[in-house]
Structure 1
Amino acid sequence: MKLCFFNDNRLGLVEANTVYDVSEALRQLPTSGYPYPQTDALITNLEQLTPEIIRLREGASSFPLNEVTLLSPVANPGKIVAAPVNYQAHLDEAIADPATFTRANVRKIQETGLFLKATSSLIGAGQQVVIGLPERRTDHEIELVAVIGKRAKNVSARDALSYVAGYSIGLDITIRGPEERSLRKSLDTYTVLGPWLVTADELSDPHALEMVLDINGEKRQHANTSDLIMDVAELIEFASQYYTLEPGDLLFTGTPEGVAPIVAGDRINARIDNIGQLSVDVVQS
């Protein structure tokens, strides 16, 4: 299935160029009280809700895909976990450009570890990237994103993919400079997720997916997830040694070579095989 949130937080089932409104399925989500769970309710209950979503598809109101506003397909991630320099070619380009990439931030992922992005930075494909500090260089970064589907702690790479609910396309928008990654990558709108969530049963192998990013039609990044230094399963194993991963947590798996500046007026188009294409406009605050 391809699931999205659209317009005023309606739940949609995407088929070809049509969105079917299956929001009634959300009525089956269990109620909760304070303190509220630090998980995403839909992702937590996705397996149980799937039959109802399929049932509601028949007779559901439908909308042309190009006429809806796509929001983040995961509404309430507890954590956004991200992998730095996880493609060798990107590490090489960073090492070769010390004026842009601070030495302290250019090390192998096994040495650097992972970092967290603020959940307040999350938007969907129908929203806009707002350049927050226009005097600084701001770059695009395309990434495959794994959405955690169940609690994971100290899991092995062998079992790790069974903890994934689905996959999406991510843009890790980044200010260059000496500060910690979590600060430079957590401005409002600097985490884009979409255009929808492809459930894991439809994407069994995340390790051979072509990805392409262009700006205004000019190709900037082109790689394959087979080039990851630490693949999705290894990243989940690594992350779950440090964090308890919860349903709805987002794992950004790293960007390939070709990162470059974006400015107001640009349109970012990002495509990953078997997921789709995410397009978002860049504006200035």
Structure 2
Amino acid sequence: MRLCRFEDNRLGVVRGTSEAPVVHDVTRILEALPSFRYPLPDHDPLIAALPVLRPRIEALADAAPAIPLKDLRLLPPVASPRKIVAAPVNYRLHHEEALADETLHHGTNILPIDKAGLFLKATSSLIGPSDPVVIRFPEARNDHEIELVAVIGTRADRVSQDQALSHVAGYAIGLDMTVRGTQERSMRKSCDSYTVLGPWLVTADEIPDPSALEMQLMVNGETRQRTSTANLLRQVAALIEKASAFYTLVPGDLLFTGTPEGVAPVVAGDVMTARIAGIGEMKVAVR
């Protein structure tokens, strides 16, 4: 199943062909979610309830008319992640290019992922694919970074690799936009609009093996990044094990798994096209 959020926080099931996808509005299912009073929950309520609600969502989709997806404004498919966890330099060739290019490392120590660990991005940086990335510091270098994103579906605290994927609700495409400089990663990558998630969430049953997905990022039609998740230094399960060793992951948390080589600047007016096999494609403008 492919779930999207669109327009004024509506929920849809995406069906149809990749050339002409359509959306079936299932927003009514949100009435089944519990009502919360302060303090709000520490997780995304829809992602937590997805296993129980899925049969009813499918039934609603079957009965709902098809809306052409091209006519809709897509929001991030996860409304309320409590954490955005990200993996730095998780492809060998990207690690090598970062070490070799001073405009990437700015004299900072680029450690391999096994030594650097993971980092966090501000949830306020999250947007959907229909909104533009707005360059915050045009005088600096601002780079694109395509990544596979795992969406956590159930609470995960100190889980092992062999159990890790059972905690995944689904997958999406991510763009981890980055201001180059000497500041900490979490600061340079947390500008408003610098975390793009979309175009929808593909449930984990449709991607039983996330370790062999082809991905590609183009800017204005020119390929900049292209690889397979087979080349990840730490696969999704290993990243979940590592992250959950430090903090409990909850439903709706996002895990950005790292970007391959080919990172490069974007400027206002550019259009980024990101594709990952088994998930889809999204076009994101730069302003």
Bin for the TM-score computed over the shorter chain: over 0.9
Partner of 2:272, secondary structure, is strand
Partner of 1:58, secondary structure, is helix
Counterpart residue identity of residue 201, structure 2:
L
Partner of 1:171: 175
Counting aligned pairs with the same residue, the percent is 60
1:38 aligns with 2:42: yes
1:31 Cα shift?
A: 1.5
Partner of 1:125: 129
Q: For structure 1, which segment, 216-225 or 94-103, has the greater mean C-alpha deviation from structure 2 after superposition? A: 94-103
Q: Unaligned regions of 5+ residues in structure 2, if any?
A: none
Counterpart residue identity of residue 14, structure 2:
V
Q: Encode CA deviations 1:232-263: one digit per residue, 9 max, x unaligned.
A: 00000000000100000000000000000000
CA distance in 2, matches of 1:75, 1:163: 18
1:110 Cα shift?
A: 1.1
Partner of 1:2: 2
Match for residue 185 of structure 2 among 181, 202, 209? 181
Alignment of 1:1-285 (within 5 A): 1-16=1-16, 17-283=21-287
RMSD of aligned residue pairs (Cα, Å): 0.8
CA distance in 2, matches of 1:259, 1:100: 9
CA distance in 2, matches of 1:99, 1:216: 22
1:100 Cα shift?
A: 2.6
The 1:52–1:105 alpha-carbon spacing in structure 2 relative to 1, beyond 3 Å, is: farther
| Conservation of the 8 A alpha-carbon contact between 2:103 and 2:180 | no
| Conservation of the 8 A alpha-carbon contact between 1:85 and 1:254 | yes
Counterpart residue identity of residue 143, structure 2:
D
CA distance in 1, matches of 2:107, 2:254: 27
Q: For structure 1, which segment, 268-277 or 51-60, has the greater mean C-alpha deviation from structure 2 after superposition? A: 51-60
Counterpart residue identity of residue 37, structure 2:
G
Q: Unaligned regions of 5+ residues in structure 1, if any?
A: none
Q: Encode CA deviations 1:48-91: one digit per residue, 9 max, x unaligned.
A: 11011011012213310111010000000000000000000000
CA distance in 2, matches of 1:234, 1:272: 20
Counterpart residue identity of residue 280, structure 2:
G
- The TM-score normalised by the length of structure 1 is 0.98
CA distance in 2, matches of 1:196, 1:113: 28
Residue-pair matches, total = 283
CA distance in 1, matches of 2:8, 2:27: 11
| Conservation of the 8 A alpha-carbon contact between 1:105 and 1:112 | no
Deviating beyond 4 angstroms after TM superposition, the runs of 4 or more aligned structure 1 residues are none
CA distance in 2, matches of 1:110, 1:129: 30
CA distance in 1, matches of 2:109, 2:264: 17
Counterpart residue identity of residue 88, structure 2:
P
